[in-house]
């Protein structure tokens, strides 16, 4: 899609969706997976090049263990169920976040998804998992410091572009549009470095109710925006 390469989504509101129905929060996450599958397919059909979704933040460890392990199980079952479809649709999976502390079965499942889709050339579908924007910036700063100590980087001539290459999103352009469902007007530590000039779209719709029609509304809204990047018309 012209002028829209990268859409990022904060998939929020699963818990409230479930609560309104008198269901366990995990049921909201299950329903959220169905939305995700539809939105990946729609993004692919629309020719969007990059889709990044916030699945688990570095702060989400504060939740009850039962919910955390339920979320990880859900990711494993998502891969088991959808991987074939993703490959068929030429979708390349990527992961943004600190993987080293994730459970072993989660990492196995991720490795399988990355390996199976590594040659896909269609939609690049990135899952932010154990992702935090500040942690990502700090990690990049530490890499930079190490490179300087080794004489591999030169602080004087180090650019924003060079620093971007140290992020999880090294090969991904900054998000043009960040969508947040569930109504909260904040970024919750999502793509802190990359969101500097992203357009923001918030909808009160809970993630499990976020349909391709709602997605089209967000994209239509984006098309009306005047992106000045600090300049003037």
Nearer to ligand IPE, 94 or 182 (CB): 182
Q: How far is the CB of 203 from ligand IPE (least distance, A)?
A: 13
Nearer to Mg ion, 50 or 54 (CB): 54
Residue whose C-alpha is closest to residue 127's, from 164, 161, 168, 162: 168
Is 12 an interacting residue with respect to Mg ion (CB under 5 A)? Answer: yes
Residue nearest to ligand IPE (CB): 15
Is 210 an interacting residue with respect to Mg ion (CB under 5 A)? Answer: no
> Catalytic site residues?
12, 60
Residue 188 interacting partner from Mg ion, ligand IPE, none (CB closer than 5 to 8 Å by kind):
ligand IPE
* Among residues 12, 136, 176, 199, the one that binds ligand IPE under rule CB under 6 A: 12
Is 73 an interacting residue with respect to ligand IPE (CB under 6 A)? Answer: no
Is 218 an interacting residue with respect to ligand IPE (CB under 6 A)? Answer: no
Residue whose C-alpha is closest to residue 195's, from 176, 180, 181: 176
* Among residues 39, 40, 51, 71, the one that binds ligand IPE under rule CB under 6 A: 71
Is 10 an interacting residue with respect to ligand IPE (CB under 6 A)? Answer: yes
* Bridge partners, residue 179, by sequence: 9, 201
Measured N-to-C along each axis, helices 104-117 and 65-88 cross at an angle, to the nearest 10 degrees, of: 20
Q: Which residues does 174 contact at the CB level (< 8 Å), separation at least 6?
A: 6, 191, 194, 195, 196, 197, 198
Nearer to ligand IPE, 135 or 153 (CB): 135
Taking the CB of residue 89, how many other CB atoms lie within 10 A of it? Answer: 17
Termini Cα distance of the chain: 23
Q: Which residues does 86 contact at the CB level (< 8 Å), separation at least 6?
A: 40, 93, 113, 116, 117, 120, 125
* Among residues 14, 43, 109, 126, the one that binds ligand IPE under rule CB under 6 A: 14
Residue 154 interacting partner from Mg ion, ligand IPE, none (CB closer than 5 to 8 Å by kind):
none
Q: How far is the CB of 208 from ligand IPE (least distance, A)?
A: 9
Site for ligand IPE in 147-176 (CB under 6 A): none
Burial of 103 (0-12, 13-18, 19+ CB in 10 A): middle
Q: Give every strand in the sheet of 50-57, ordered side by side.
A: 92-96, 124-131, 50-57, 6-10, 177-180, 199-202
Nearer to Mg ion, 18 or 91 (CB): 18
Part of the chain binding ligand IPE (CB under 6 A), chosen from 56-64, 116-124, 153-161, 171-179: 56-64
Binding stretches for ligand IPE (CB under 6 A) = 10-16, 54-57, 60, 71, 182, 184, 186, 188
């Amino acid at each position: 899609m012209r002028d829209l390469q990268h859409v990022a989504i904060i998939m929020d509101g699963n818990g409230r969706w479930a609560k309104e129905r008198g269901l366990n929060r995990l049921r909201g996450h299950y329903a959220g997976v169905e939305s995700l599958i539809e939105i990946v397919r729609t993004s692919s059909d629309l020719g969007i090049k990059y889709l990044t979704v916030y699945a688990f933040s570095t702060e989400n460890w504060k939740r009850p263990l039962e919910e955390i392990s339920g979320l990880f199980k859900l990711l494993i079952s998502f891969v088991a169920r959808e991987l074939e479809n993703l490959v068929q649709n030429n979708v390349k999976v990527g992961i943004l976040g600190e993987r080293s502390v994730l459970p072993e079965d989660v990492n196995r499942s991720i490795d399988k998804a990355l390996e199976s889709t590594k040659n896909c050339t269609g939609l690049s579908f990135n899952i932010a998992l154990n992702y935090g924007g500040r942690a990502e910036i700090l990690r990049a700063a530490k890499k930079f410091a190490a490179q300087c100590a080794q004489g591999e980087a030169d602080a004087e001539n180090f650019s924003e572009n060079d620093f971007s290459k140290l992020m999880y999103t090294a090969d991904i352009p900054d998000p043009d549009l960040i969508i947040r469902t569930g109504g909260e007007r904040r970024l919750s530590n999502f793509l802190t470095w990359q969101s500097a000039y992203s357009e923001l779209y918030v909808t009160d719709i809970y993630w499990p109710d976020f349909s391709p029609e709602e997605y089209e509304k967000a994209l239509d809204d984006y098309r009306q925006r005047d992106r000045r990047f600090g300049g003037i018309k």
